[in-house]
Amino acid sequence: MRRYVAKRVLHAIFVMWLVATVVFFGLRAIPGGPIRAMLGPEATPSAVESLRTQLGLDQPLYVQYAEWFSGMLAGDLGTSITTGQEITTLIAAAFPRTFSIAIVGVIVGLGLAIPAGIVSATRKHEPADYVATVAAFLGLSMPAFFIGILLALVFGVRLGLLPIFGYTPIGEGFVPWLRSIILPGIAVGLPYAAIVMRMMRSSLLETMNEPYMTTARAKGIDSRVQLYKHAMQNALIPVVTVAGIQVALILVGSVTVEIVFGIQGIGRMLVDSIIDRNYPVTQAVILLVAAIMVFANLAVDILYTFIDPRIRYGGEP
Amino acid sequence: MTDYETTNDCGGTDSDRVDTDGGVDAEYPGAAPPERFRDDGFVEPRRTFRERLVTGLGNDRKALAGAVVVVGFIATALFAPIIAPYDPNTTFTILQEPATSSTTADGEFFHILGTDSFGHDVLSRIVYGARVSLLVAAATVLFAFTIGTVIGTVAGYYGGWVDSLLMRYIDFQWAFPTLILAAGIIAFAGGLGVWNVIIAIGVAFIDDFARLVRGEVLSIREEEYVMAARAVGMGDTRIMSKEILPNAVAPIIVQVTLMIPLAILAEAGLSFLGLGVTPTTPTWGLMLSEGRQFISQAWWISIFPGFAIMITVLAFNMFGDGLRDVFDVKEGEVSDR
Amino acid sequence: MSSAHSPSGSADADEESLLDIAGLHTVFHTDRGTVRAVDGVDLSLNSGEIVGLVGESGSGKSVLARSIMGLIDDPGEIADGDVRLNGESLVHAEESRLNELRGGTVSMVFQDPMHSLNPTLSVGEQIAETVRLNQDIGESVSLPAEIKRKILGAAENSEAWRRAIEMLEAVQIPEPAARAGDFPHEFSGGMRQRAMLAIALSCEPDLLIADEPTTALDVTIQAGILDELRALKDAFDTTILLITHNLAVVAEACDRVNVMYAGRIVERAPTDVLFENPSHPYTQGLIASTPRVDHPDADLQPIPGSVPDGIGEQPACKFAKRCPEAKPECYERPPDFRPVGASHEAACLRRGPTEDRL
């Protein structure tokens, strides 16, 4: 197992390096050059020169590359063109907001998906199953930002129960914080729940048909014990995979939902930086997102070792 | 050496092939049976691809409903000028409520779904929005499909370092959620507009196709008829295009059907963020974003386009799901050889 | 359509048998029609014997096994007949009663050891839970108890675990105490099958049904497993129903044999009698098509045609179409069991005492 974990960690590091490198070259490959793109066609030569020096683009490529990496590892992500602030500071302010939404999203998502998937599979073709399956379809078909707008309309405008604009940091109280992110969190969590639920259902159904489940029945084991002791662990394996991969959905959802609810998170940062052509910021956010994805996948890989004994004790087949 | 034809039926013919019982038959070692027992075994005509598809889908109400709506969506997109009550860029009174009429200097105009903050008729913009969605979805998927299939086939077929290299790329792409990658590409391509959107989303989808096709090719590559083709000296490209790909068609079709709604959602997302099509183009995502500010006074500006997205995506998903059921059930038989 | 209930071969008619199957019909409702997988079977087992059930794939033998255990689900059902274990009807029993009996009184070993063991539970646990379930050792098997056990870790010094290790030793798995904590994927094929035997026998059942216990294994391992079966039968006084398509296995391990074809039993005899003197044309064909070490140059005669699928109207004798001795009447008159030797009977109109023969 240690070998397995080591392999996955190395792989993760490799991918991060690859991503950083591609982003590095991507910036420099912009048609017309990044400087012109940022400053616009009427930029004066001196403005171009000073920006170039400021960004270190006048140095030889390999020097730039080395500085880029050493800077990154030291935690220096550069400065924003528009405001001159340290990007790391900006991210430190924005990230907790996105993270809050994401956490609520994951909790809501898994909290709905797993029980729903189990109920759906164990009561296949009964009304409960149909309801859950239809709900999952709907969840898959609505973009998170639309769900957000609907929720804002119903709970914010019509019922006036919850705020629909802005974020309250947790420092100002748990309940106000929760109130400010519960709607965005649900909006982000529902499409996620839909996908995870479908996988839970199909995986459980498949597991129940495995020969070892017949063995369990032949032993006279109670059906609830069969489900939870014999089937669940096996059925969860593909579910964990999907739950990890679909963190992408949560991230994407957060980005759009932040706009709906006026929350100044990473998503807002990304969009603004693209519109303003604030490339250093764009770069940094993309790297951050990739890092989250890679980390999430690594976490899933490691989670496997707890769930699947075949990985934990890789014995002979 | 027979030259296998590549038809849409994965190389099969339309003639019914009869499945008799095991081989040696038609003579009875002992006394022959009376007439009514003579129809031995189970004579089941080998159903062709098309027949299976039609029967399979015909029995699936969900898939049929989806198919109907999909056709409706395509028709709306194609015949937009005829279906839309007004031109999407004509302005009437702003913020008109649904099912009311606006009065301008030119007369009274009825707005089923109201008007937006610029005075455009919402229904007309939704109808024309279908055009953009269809165009983007189709072009995107086509783009991703073509490139992804080539990458996947080459990687799966040749294996070795080619495969490793291509897989590294796919791994890399995997670290980026679609929307983020697309946004990044738009950022670095410098500019909005439909074509940039198509390329951005298209590139983001390549890894899905590549991985799927690679998987299929890997398993088909080991099949006997491929070995036979190689033993006879058939060239690689020919093997890939005539032996392997036609047999991978079914999962690829399912994938295409399931990626279209994802493309629609991606375009809507990009446009919603202001990173998609140019600002005045009627597209559902953009309408949602414009309507966001008016959510308290004029909810209809966002809500109706939102439902348009939902219904279209839902229809494609239901249809794609039905397709997947039809093909998966007969997994081993997909090649009609 | 069941064959007439005959004074079955070797069992004493008045002694109560351990297992008594009478007129069993198990069907499956499919899109193509209703498949009669078990089409009227009578079978009796007495304590202490190893009885073989031989047939090709499609003969219905596995379905018969599952019918006994009550493991037939939608779209299948037991349409008629009864299965009595120690006089108690299993077909009419409640699921809860069946659960009580399963594992403890009647247990089953399945065909594919690789996939019949749960990959996420240790082998020891899979044995231990059977013990807990079926023996009165005071360890609970309710869901809360299982959860507690999982969180606190299986008590390695519990009675059930001790017993599991004992069983592993009984089936000749080396280092049983250490191996009990291992998972199925860490065992080789032969050892997995032994582990399955351990599970099945851990509660000393009255009846063990072994469905193709050696099919998935190397020939060299097969002999070992069969020896194991015999040894365990002696040690635990278990009756074994051994199901297989492999005649060699039958010859090696069984006291008497039932030959099954297309959902029905067609011949019954003690093992040596069957091989010396096969009577039913199907049995004769089966033996003739099996390569034999002692007749290496004999021509193999495959039986032409294939097993009928059991849907729709069938000829009275299901083998008639493939039978070299078939007469027209064979298609119309149901073949009942005729005595053809000592404790030996065949369901064929063309066998039996001369006056009765076709």
Three-state secondary structure string covering chain B:
CCCCCCCCCCCCCCCCEEECCCCCCCCCCCCCCCHHHCCCCCCEEECCHHHHHHHHHHCCHHHHHHHHHHHHHHHHHHCHHHHCCCCCCCECCCCCCCCEEEEECCEEEEECCCECCCCEEHHHHHHHHHHHHHHHHHHHHHHHHHHHHHHHHHHHHHCHHHHHHHHHHHHHHHCCCHHHHHHHHHHHHCCCCHHHHHHHHHHHHHHHHHHHHHHHHHHHHCCHHHHHHHHCCCCHHHHHHHHHHHHHHHHHHHHHHHHHHHHHHHHHHHHHHCCCCCCCCCCHHHHHHHHHCCCCCCCHHHHHHHHHHHHHHHHHHHHHHHHHHHHHHCHHHCCCC
pLDDT value, residue A193: 95
C311–B42 C-beta distance less than 8 A:
yes
Q: Answer yes or no: is pLDDT of B21 > 90.
A: no
Summarised one tens digit per residue, pLDDT across range A216-244 is: 988 888 888 888 889 999 999 999 989 98
Summarised one tens digit per residue, pLDDT across range A171-201 is: 778 888 888 889 999 999 999 999 999 999 9
CA distance to partner chain A, nearest, from residue B192 (Å): 10
**Partners of C337 in the β-ladder:** C347
Among B180, B274, B314, beta carbon nearest to A137: B314
Q: Return the residue of A nearest to B301 by Cα.
A: A149
**Which residues from A are below 8 Å from C102, CB to CB?**
217-220
pLDDT: which is higher, A169 or A182:
A182
Q: Which chains touch A (3 or more CB pairs under 8 A)?
A: B, C
Please measure the distance between the N-terminal and C-terminal CA atoms of chain A and give it in whole angstroms: 15
pLDDT value, residue A301: 87
∠ CA B265-B270-B272, rounded to 5°: 90
At B316, is the pLDDT very low, low, confident or very high (cuts 50, 70, 90)? very high
**CB contact C327 to B (< 8 Å):** yes
Summarised one tens digit per residue, pLDDT across range A129-163 is: 989 998 999 998 999 999 999 999 998 888 877 87
**Which residues from A are below 8 Å from B309, CB to CB?**
141-143, 146
A169: helix, coil or strand?
Answer: coil
Check if the beta carbon of residue B174 is closer than 8 Å to that of residue B305.
no
**Which residues from B are below 8 Å from A18, CB to CB?**
168, 171-172
CB-CB neighbours of B169 under 10 Å? 16
Summarised one tens digit per residue, pLDDT across range C134-152 is: 776 667 777 777 777 777 7
At B227, is the pLDDT very low, low, confident or very high (cuts 50, 70, 90)? confident
At C4, is the pLDDT very low, low, confident or very high (cuts 50, 70, 90)? very low
CB-CB neighbours of B113 under 10 Å? 22
pLDDT value, residue B187: 81
**CB contact C315 to B (< 8 Å):** yes
| Mean pLDDT over each residue of chain A, to the nearest integer | 86
Concatenating the DSSP letter of every residue in C105-164 gives: TEEEE-S-HHHHS-TTS-HHHHHHHHHHHHS-SS---SHHHHHHHHHH---TTSHHHHHH
Q: Return the residue of B nearest to C302 by Cα.
A: B24
Cα–Cα dist C120/A167, whole Å: 44
Among C305, C311, C320, beta carbon nearest to B25: C305
Q: Answer yes or no: is pLDDT of B332 > 50.
A: no
pLDDT value, residue C104: 82
Cα–Cα dist A268/C310, whole Å: 67
∠ CA A114-A117-A121, rounded to 5°: 145
**Which residues from C are below 8 Å from A124, CB to CB?**
none
Check if the beta carbon of residue C173 is closer than 8 Å to that of residue C194.
yes
Q: Return the residue of A nearest to B297 by Cα.
A: A157
Q: Return the residue of B nearest to C309 by Cα.
A: B41
pLDDT value, residue A88: 86
Summarised one tens digit per residue, pLDDT across range A27-42 is: 777 766 677 777 777 7
At A16, is the pLDDT very low, low, confident or very high (cuts 50, 70, 90)? confident
Q: What CATH topology corresponds to A90-307?
A: MetI-like fold (1.10.3720)
At C53, is the pLDDT very low, low, confident or very high (cuts 50, 70, 90)? very high
Angstrom distances, CA of residue A241 to CA of B167, B325, C334: 19, 22, 58
CA distance to partner chain B, nearest, from residue C314 (Å): 7
Q: Which chains touch C (3 or more CB pairs under 8 A)?
A: A, B
Summarised one tens digit per residue, pLDDT across range C105-118 is: 899 988 888 889 99
Among A214, A224, A228, beta carbon nearest to C110: A214
Summarised one tens digit per residue, pLDDT across range B275-304 is: 888 888 899 999 999 998 888 888 889 999
Residue to substitute from C74, C98, C118, interface A, most A β-carbons within 10 A? C118
Cα–Cα dist A74/A76, whole Å: 6
**CB contact B161 to C (< 8 Å):** no
**CB contact C309 to B (< 8 Å):** yes
Q: Answer yes or no: is pLDDT of C24 > 90.
A: yes
**CB contact B313 to A (< 8 Å):** yes
pLDDT: which is higher, A183 or C203:
A183
pLDDT value, residue B7: 35
Q: Answer yes or no: is pLDDT of C5 > 50.
A: no
For CATH 1.10.3720.10, the residue range(s) in chain A are: 90-307
Burial A283-308 (b: 16+ CB within 10 A, else e): bbbbbbbbbbbbebbbebbebbbebb
A218–C141 C-beta distance less than 8 A:
no
| Mean pLDDT over each residue of chain C, to the nearest integer | 84
Cα–Cα dist C257/C249, whole Å: 11
CA distance to partner chain C, nearest, from residue A223 (Å): 10
A313–C186 C-beta distance less than 8 A:
yes
pLDDT value, residue B330: 36
Average pLDDT over residues C89-97: 89
Q: What percent of chain B has pLDDT over 90?
A: 23
pLDDT value, residue B48: 66
Please give the structure tokens belonging to residue A217.
């029945």
Where is mean pLDDT largest: A109-118, B87-96, C157-166, C337-346? Answer: A109-118
Average pLDDT over residues C232-241: 86
**Which residues from B are below 8 Å from C325, CB to CB?**
30
**CB contact C146 to A (< 8 Å):** yes
**Partners of C268 in the β-ladder:** C258, C345
Q: Answer yes or no: is pLDDT of B22 > 60.
A: no
Q: Answer yes or no: is pLDDT of A293 > 60.
A: yes
Among B31, B37, B42, beta carbon nearest to C309: B42
Check if the beta carbon of residue B109 is closer than 8 Å to that of residue B98.
no
pLDDT value, residue B145: 92
Q: Answer yes or no: is pLDDT of B102 > 80.
A: no
Among B168, B261, B288, beta carbon nearest to A149: B288
CB-CB neighbours of A313 under 10 Å? 15
**Interface predicted TM-score (ipTM) of this complex, two decimals:** 0.86
Summarised one tens digit per residue, pLDDT across range B143-163 is: 999 999 888 888 888 878 888
Q: Answer yes or no: is pLDDT of A284 > 50.
A: yes
pLDDT value, residue A171: 77
C324–B30 C-beta distance less than 8 A:
yes
Q: Answer yes or no: is pLDDT of A314 > 70.
A: no
CA distance to partner chain C, nearest, from residue B242 (Å): 35
Summarised one tens digit per residue, pLDDT across range A39-83 is: 777 777 787 777 777 777 777 777 778 877 887 787 777 777 777
For chain C, positions 116-135, list CB contacts with chain B under 8 A.
none
Among A225, A308, A313, beta carbon nearest to C141: A225
Angstrom distances, CA of residue A85 to CA of A54, A90, A91: 13, 7, 11
Q: Return the residue of B nearest to A293 by Cα.
A: B175
Q: Answer yes or no: is pLDDT of B335 > 60.
A: no
pLDDT value, residue C138: 67
Check if the beta carbon of residue C2 is closer than 8 Å to that of residue C42.
yes
Average pLDDT over residues C260-281: 92
pLDDT value, residue C314: 82
pLDDT: which is higher, C216 or A195:
A195
At C299, is the pLDDT very low, low, confident or very high (cuts 50, 70, 90)? low
∠ CA C103-C105-C106, rounded to 5°: 65
CB-CB neighbours of A63 under 10 Å? 11
**CB contact C326 to A (< 8 Å):** no
CA distance to partner chain B, nearest, from residue C338 (Å): 21
pLDDT value, residue B328: 67
